[in-house]
Each structure stands twice: as structure tokens, then as C-alpha cells.
């Protein structure tokens, strides 16, 4: 099953009018043909296993990113809880001694 679609003959003759658009058109076509050439060199087993390897690679990164996001969420919650505690006025009673310097 080819990864790339076969070009439409009408599309091939419809070259863009502006030079820069024509350049990009031809570069895209060259890249497509290069990809087809490289794909034809690879055996079917390689294609199958490389596709699976890519999927596993993406799954691994998804797990890593999800874990990092969860840890950042936890740190954010702890930080906001500490901020709320810091906003409370200091306790006037308790066992703690406070030294006050008077000028």
C-alpha cells in the first residue's frame, strides 16, 4: 500500500504562475518523488516494523509528557496552598519566640 497518492495528471500540468510558487511546487514534487524512490528500496518487513517502532516511540513520549504535566500540576497545587497559608496573619500566640530589633 503506497504511502503517497499518485499524482493527478491535471494537477501536474497546472503549474503555478508566480515564480516562487512554481519553485515550491517543483521542490514539493521532487521531495515526493524522492520519498517514493526511498520507499521502493525498503522491504515490506522494514516498513511494518518501522511503523510500529514509530508508534511505540510516540506512546513513550506521551507517557513522559503526561507524567511531567501531572508533576507540574502537583507542584502548582502545593505552591498555591503555600501561598494561601502565607497570606494568613502571623499567630500572636504559641511557643515561638520572636526577636524584634528596635532602632
pLDDT of 1: 44
Per-residue pLDDT reduced to its tens digit, 43-102: 989 989 999 999 999 999 999 999 999 999 999 998 887 776 666 666 666 677 778 888
Contact 2, 36 (CB under 8 A): yes
Mean pLDDT along residues 5-20: 68
Q: Domain of residue 60: give its range.
A: 43-84
Cell numbers that stand for 35 in this block: 520519498
Task: Pull the grid cell for residue 70.
Answer: 501531572
Q: Same structural domain for residues 30 and 56?
A: no
Is there a contact between 39 and 47 (Cβ–Cβ < 8 Å)?
yes
Q: Which tops the pLDDT comparison, 92 or 22?
A: 22
Q: Please count the structural domains in the chain.
A: 2
C-alpha cell at 36: 517514493
In order of 6, 69, 88, 89, the CA distances from 80 in angstroms are 56, 16, 13, 17
Same domain? For 21 and 7 the reply is: yes
Q: What is the pLDDT of residue 5?
A: 57
Amino acid at each position: 500500500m503506497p504511502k503517497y497518492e499518485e499524482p493527478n495528471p491535471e494537477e501536474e500540468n497546472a503549474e503555478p504562475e508566480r515564480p516562487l510558487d512554481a519553485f515550491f511546487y517543483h521542490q514539493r514534487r521532487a521531495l515526493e518523488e524522492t520519498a517514493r524512490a526511498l520507499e521502493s528500496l525498503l522491504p515490506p518487513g522494514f516498513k511494518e516494523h518501522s511503523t510500529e517502532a514509530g508508534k511505540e516511540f510516540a506512546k513513550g513520549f506521551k507517557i513522559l509528557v503526561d507524567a511531567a504535566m501531572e508533576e507540574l500540576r502537583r507542584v502548582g497545587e502545593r505552591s498555591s496552598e503555600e501561598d494561601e497559608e502565607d497570606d494568613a496573619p502571623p499567630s500572636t500566640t504559641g511557643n515561638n519566640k520572636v526577636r524584634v530589633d528596635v532602632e
